[in-house]
Amino acid sequence: MKIIMLGAPGAGKGTQAKKIAEKYGIPHISTGDIFRANIKGGTELGMKAKSYMDQGQLVPDEVTIGMLLDRISQADCENGYVLDGFPRTIPQAESLTASLKERGEKMDYAIDVDVPDEAIVTRMGGRRACLGCGATYHIVFNSTKVEGICDACGQELVLRDDDKPETVQKRLTVYHDQTQPLIDYYKNEGILHTVDGTQDLNEVFKDIVNILGV
């Protein structure tokens, strides 16, 4: 069962990817994790990626795809995997499709966790992070016992720059320009399924399990 998670930043696709991985016993693969593992392991592709990242440049698609193909060739991916954060663009999707085809494989599902922009701005604006221990909270959905203070270590919580409305809006603009076309791409591939991401996360997960049908 090979699954791609789609959705805007803050839609909750990472949370759902983890739940899918846990339920079906398949790896949750994010590009961030792959980069970190390759850089830490000192692989050739990892060093290439690091050289671009150190210069503040985007890692070229061929390097990213090389690392991804290496990762999905590992034994724990034999029964499938959940991709989170890749592909982000049509060229990446086309390269992934072509590379899998060469191996006699294809993706089975592309699941779009659909949340309107205004709901994402509200949702992310409510996030709070502890710079001390890294714990994260939400003023509505996962509040602390004492307002503005971390339950775990007692330090003050902050609204990260990433979660400020103006930053979120910029990230959404990039998403709509680059990533949303993937929805049409996977619709044409016949594997797109959409779930309502504004529901409670357990309800969203229930809908995903119904789509996967096992």
| Cα distance between residue 172 and residue 176, in whole Å | 6
pLDDT at 22 over 80: yes
> Which of the residues 13, 48, 71, 128 is marked catalytic?
13
Catalytic residue among 18, 164, 171, 187: 171
Whether 13 is a known active-site residue: answer yes
Q: Where are the domains of the chain?
A: 2-26+79-209
Q: Which of 131-135, 160-164, 189-193 has the highest mean pLDDT?
A: 189-193
Say whether 160 is catalytic: yes
* DSSP alpha helix (H) spans, 111-200: 117-125, 165-174, 181-188
The CATH code belonging to domain 2-26+79-209 is 3.40.50.300
pLDDT of residue 55: 85
pLDDT-based confidence at 11, cuts 50/70/90? very high
Record the pTM.
0.84
Helix, strand, coil percentages, rounded to 5, for the chain? 50, 15, 35
> Is residue 71 annotated as part of the catalytic site, yes or no?
no
What is the predicted pLDDT for the residue at 9? 87
Given a cut of 90, is residue 56 above it in pLDDT?
A: no
Residue 69 identity: L
Query: From the candidates 2, 88, 123, 128, which is the catalytic residue?
Result: 88
Catalytic annotation present for 40: no
Which has the closest alpha carbon to 82: 44, 131, 31?
Answer: 31
Highest-scoring range by mean pLDDT, 31-40, 58-67, 144-153, 162-171: 144-153
144/121 Cα distance (integer angstroms): 21
Given the residues 50, 160, 164, 187, the one annotated as active site:
160
The arithmetic mean of pLDDT across residues 199-212, rounded, is: 96
Active-site option among 19, 123, 127, 128: 127
pLDDT tens-digit series, residues 84-108: 989 988 999 999 999 999 989 999 9
Residue 156: strand pairing partners: 149
Q: Return the amino acid letter for 70.
A: D
Q: Per-residue confidence at 31, pLDDT binned at 50, 70, 90?
A: confident
Does 88 qualify as catalytic in the annotation?
A: yes
108 Cβ contact partners less than 8 Å away, ≥ 6 residues apart: 1, 2, 3, 80, 191
Residue 149 has pLDDT above 80, yes or no: yes
174 pLDDT higher than 90? no
- What gap in Å lies between CA 32 and CA 55, rounded to an integer? 17
Provide the 3-class DSSP secondary structure of residue 131.
Answer: coil
Whether residue 87 is preceded by a cis peptide bond, meaning omega within 30 degrees of 0, is yes
